[in-house]
Chains A and B, each alone.
Chain A
Amino acid sequence: MHNLLWLQGASCGGDTISFLNSEQPSALSSFEVLDINLLWHPFLSRAQGDDVLNIFEDILSGKTKLDILILEGAIPNGPDNSGKFFMFHGRPFRDWLADFCKHAEMVMSVGTCAAFGGVVTGHENINEMSGLQFLHNQKGGLLGSEFISKNGLPVVNVPGCPSHPDWIVETMTALLKGWLDMDGLDEFHRPKVFFSKLAHHGCPRNEYYEFKASAVGYSQQGCLFEFLGCKGTLCESDCNERLWLGRTGSCTRGGFPCIACTSPLFPDKQRPYFSTRKIGDVPVTLPLDVPKAWFVGISGMSKLACPERLKKNAVSFKWIS
């Protein structure tokens, strides 16, 4: 039996809502199949008030073993690094959290906020939020760059705004089965198995991308990369292969651009969201491993080679056969 404590910092609760969308196993049965005993979850558990405090105290006294700690939401440090922006039972939430991390066998952050600070760090982070072990792409955060939990791993980051339910359940699985080691994590401590692909992979607009047949306005079928701000070629996630909500959708399938919400630099460094920043004619959001000169050459040629069928459909909201 593995004891799980799930906490929410400066959170919208969206990662819990996303977790509840899990299909196989469902969120509730994931606890059963992974032999998890949920000590407390702020949205799901019956315990409230002093009962929660008792659960907390038993963890801190060592009476209850804390196998896995999950944090959702950023950590409020303000104002002036006092932690008073979130007082949990009269004590800064971040102090509770730091104590729990010392006791936890494994620590996992769910969502971009808990991992890197996320949306609430927008506007130069005037509200002094941070992630558990990162602030944006810089190591540190609440726990510091050297933090290692009892199982020998740093905080395992499962970002996304929200995080995909599969990423959450599968990371819990890998952690509890001992399948995850440092080689399985990227430089931002994200499991490579989900975050070494690009949101671009599997996008149904890829043929349009190949021939640079671009949509010029939303709700058109063409590629959203050239004009409409899509970051799918930079965003490290497997969204378009995995798909969301019963494998029915993704951002680009919904007709809107990927905004790279799994990135440590979300939200401010991903702007503008709805148009493409370019140097000359070349989008700055090229995949990092594509040489720019080649891209310019190839895209010029592919535009010339673009079939009529794609040119027409790229700017149409419905299929023209």
Chain B
Amino acid sequence: MAKLIAIDPFNRLEGDLRIELEIDANTVISAKSSGIMFRGFERIMPGRSPMDALVITPRICGICSGSHGVAAAKCLAQAQGAEMPENGFHMKNLILGIEVVMSHLSHYYLLFAPDLTSPRYKKLRVYESVNQRFTAMSGSSVVLALKARQSALEIMGLVGGKWPNSLAIHPTGTTSTINLSSLTRTIGILNEFRDFLEKRFLGCALSEWLDIDSFDKLLEWQSNPQHGESDLGLFLTMCLEAGLDRIGKGPNRYISYGAYDLPDGSTWLPAGYFDGRTQPFDQSLIKEHIGASFFRDAVEARHPLDGVTSPLADKTGAYSWAKAPRYDGKTVEVGPLARMIIAGDPLLTDMVRQTDSSVMTRMFARLREMCRLTKEMSNWLERINPAEPFYAVPSSRFTSNGIGLTEAARGSLGHWMKISSNLIDNYQVVTPSAWNMSPRDENGQPGPVEQALTGVSVSDINDPVEVNHIIRSFDPCMSCTVH
């Protein structure tokens, strides 16, 4: 006899989530992921000056305000036909980069790791160390990571003025500049953060860890006690002993919009669609479905440029305030795992080949990206020339529609803007967690997290720790999702 259980509220993530599971003989046979709030940003936008998007849309999310700022600025740049000086690219990438690194760090230490301290794992030999380091809000590593985060965020003050909600990123560059003093200080802060990663998180040099290019080499790395006892080494042991490499299989289709634009027109992380192999990504194949969402519309699915946001709280059959984005009609996973696979990261490509997509691979992709970005930020910083401009004079006319695509910490983020008489006519946002946490679409296909939960065996319904791991491995941001 199947039993219905709800985890409501499901928090320790951004925003509010309700999870409903149908469980039969301790196995999840279906899952529903619900965004339980309507915030209505898309209804606030029409009639405004396009530049207002820089102020309003970052406030969709407290963790990834800068990513929304980047998406809005790219949207406006397209509508204005704007050009950006070289320094503008590197400054923008630094702001986005530090935001993503800090998001991954907080996700691991504050949101994900506390589940590892569940009494369920008492029998594991690493249980005591894991508890000592990762207990929510007081674990020794949690406290150190928060301290490292707070110091590293000084970079955001130096290059972005303030954060969350910096307005430094504009379509034609950054309003902020860098001089000898802020440059020197930023180099020092980055160095200190790398030191935290090396001493506490990795137990080895950043470059040594980034050189690991296969799962076998990762296991070999871990066998050195200095590595094995680092926060990451301990996590790897935990993953293998607790079976986190065997739960949380996603749809195995991934997209990335590409991010960290470079002056030569390329991006540091490439765009792509992966379905067994990497193919070109085409934004025109995106449609948002509303079959199971609390919205009314004459049609079931629309491309975001023509999107409609008309709330209907009493809609029969609906269970989420999130729309359900699909790519060419298919569910896809977005986020660090998608980005690492599409970028051809050798370690993650090999891990997915050997162990499939799982809680472990998803977490390792996030932590891998955190390390890769920390290294790359130093390169961007080096390319900034304080003697050259950071900003170009923009045109005040917005002559075409705009599409702003980027990658936020949690995955692909897109803004679509329709312009009429130099004002916003329609503005639609599709967030990373809308992809991952989406409800069913018009064809009844469950969203990626709903799929990942289906089939998992839950040994204790009162402490469904497997479910916690799977959901949090996607790092959901429900604030974004129900924008």
* A contact set with B: CB distance below 8 Å: 8, 10-18, 20-23, 26-28, 38, 42-46, 48-49, 52, 76, 78-79, 82, 84-90, 93, 119-120, 122-123, 126-127, 161-162, 217-219, 239, 243-257, 259, 261, 267, 271-274, 317-319
Contact = CB atoms under 8 A, between A and B. Distances in A.
Contacts of B143: 28
B311 interface: yes
A127 B39 contact: yes
B174 interface: yes
13 contacts: A13-B15, A20-B150, A38-B137, A42-B12, A48-B11, A76-B37, A88-B9, A88-B16, A88-B36, A123-B44, A245-B154, A273-B167, A317-B389
A318 B387 contact: yes
Contacts of B110: 43-44
B43 A126 contact: yes
Given A42-B12, A162-B62, A218 B175 contact: yes
Interface in B41-77: 41, 43-49, 51-52, 54-56, 59-63, 65
B176 interface: yes
A243 B185 CA distance: 16
A12 B61 contact: yes
Contacts of B59: 12, 14, 119, 161
Given A12-B62, A43-B111, A245-B154, 7 more contacts: A119-B44, A127-B44, A162-B62, A248-B154, A256-B168, A317-B177, A318-B179
Q: Can you list the 8 inter-chain pairs with the closest CB atoms, starting with the nearest? A: A254-B161, A14-B62, A248-B157, A249-B157, A245-B157, A255-B175, A219-B391, A13-B62
A8 B245 CA distance: 33
B7 A48 contact: yes
A87 B143 CA distance: 34
Contacts of A250: 161-162
Contacts of A11: 15, 62, 479
Residue among A45, A119, A243 having the largest count of chain B Cβ atoms under 10 Å: A119
B387 A219 contact: no
B164 A14 contact: yes
B147 interface: yes
B311 A219 contact: no
Contacts of A239: 162
- Secondary structure dominating the interface of A: loop
Contacts of B153: 21, 245-246
Nearest to A247: B157
A78 B44 CA distance: 14
Contacts of B289: none
Contacts of A219: 173-177, 389-391
A243 B54 CA distance: 22
B56 A255 contact: no
Interface residues of B, number: 81
B12 A243 contact: no
Contacts of B60: 12
Interface in B135-167: 136-138, 143, 146-147, 149-151, 153-154, 156-158, 160-167
A18 B156 contact: no
Contact of A28 (B41, B138, B313): B138
Contacts of A49: 6-10
B448 interface: no
A248 B158 contact: yes
Nearest to B103: A17
A272 B49 contact: yes
B278 interface: no
Contacts of B158: 248-249
Nearest to A23: B150
Contacts of A18: 62, 164
B386 interface: yes
A237 B167 CA distance: 18
Nearest to B51: A274
A272 B423 CA distance: 13
Contacts of B65: 12, 14
B272 interface: no
Contact of A267 (B51, B56, B174): B56
Given A79-B311, A123-B43, A251 B55 contact: no
A26 B165 CA distance: 21
Nearest to B169: A256
Contacts of B209: none
B14 interface: yes
Contacts of A122: 44, 56
A245 B177 contact: no
B36 A87 contact: yes
B114 interface: yes
Contacts of A218: 170, 173, 175, 391
A38 B468 CA distance: 22
B215 interface: no
A14 B165 contact: yes
